[in-house]
Amino acid sequence: MNELITTTQSDDGKILVSGRELHEFLGVRDNYTDWFKRMTKYGFDEGVDFIGFSRESSGGRRAVDHHIKLDMAKEISMIQRTDRGKEARRYFLKLEEAWNSPEQVMARALQIADRRVNNLQLQIEQDKPYTTFGKAVSGSDANLNIGAFCKMVFDEKGIKIGRNKMFKWLRDNGYLIKVGRERNNPLQKYVDRGWFVSYPTLVQRTEGDVQSLTTMITGKGQVKLLEALDKEKSHCW
């Protein structure tokens, strides 16, 4: 069938018509915005029968358009009571008949299946950085101190690195503050990303108790830092 009026397909397999293209085909003299507002008063609801969107007009400026469902397009065409309106309605009826043929139903089913396969493959690619361990750890509340994290690194990746060396690696790579009173505290940007938390602890000394902060690595931080360590292990550990 020759395409009299351009149509598209929604994600759920419905035929959609551009409100502006239909307006142009029907030869309506009123401007599009006024005409469409008048058409909606015949009982059509946004989000049910049509959805508004913005598109680039012929002059390069943005213009409001609408995705109209086929049933609404048919009724609007009939309401015009013009030869063009009758022609558009007949075209939509033939389009609907062809759309519901067994061949077209099967073709759409195959398209949906292909789209689901592609989405699944994309999800697999996105999940590659995360092992089953990583997914479990990244969403957990099991914060680890540096010593416990060193043990986990050895258990998971076979990287043998002591607590002091781990602190140095974290400082050298910009995760922890290098100098000053806040040395070995995490940089704020990594705290904001949810990689670290700091807990106040009380250190007992003969001259008096002193409060300090203990750096803990969150589940998300453990996954990210483990990835970074794993990348370096071939030439650093």
Q: What is the pLDDT of residue 2?
A: 63
**Residue with tokens 């309106």, as numbered in its chain:** 85
Is residue 64 over pLDDT 80? Answer: yes
Q: Grade residue 142 by pLDDT with cuts at 50, 70 and 90.
A: confident
Whether this prediction's pTM lies above 0.85 is answered by no
Give start and end residues of each alpha helix (H) in the chain: 19-26, 32-40, 70-79, 83-99, 102-127, 132-138, 146-157, 163-172, 188-192, 219-236
Res 200: pLDDT:
75
Q: Which of 103-117, 124-138, 179-193 has the lowest mean pLDDT?
A: 124-138
Q: Sorting pLDDT into bands at 50, 70 and 90, what band is 10?
A: confident
pLDDT at 9: 82
**Whose CA is closest to 23, among 74, 64, 77?**
77
pLDDT of residue 40: 94
* Cα atoms in the Cβ-side hemisphere of radius 13 Å centred on 72: 26
Residues 157-185: tens digit of each pLDDT: 888 899 999 999 999 999 999 988 888 99
User: Of residues 118 and 97, which shows the higher confidence score?
Assistant: 97
**Least reliable range by pLDDT among 96-105, 134-143, 150-159:** 134-143
Nearest Cα residue to 77 out of 35, 47, 15: 35
Residue 70: per-residue pLDDT: 93
Q: Please say whether the beta carbons of 51 and 70 come within 8 A.
A: no
47-53, Cβ contacts within 8 angstroms, sequence gap of 24 or more:
50/19
pLDDT at 33: 93
Q: How confident is the model at residue 113 (pLDDT cuts 50, 70, 90)?
A: low
Band of the pLDDT at 206, cuts 50, 70, 90? low
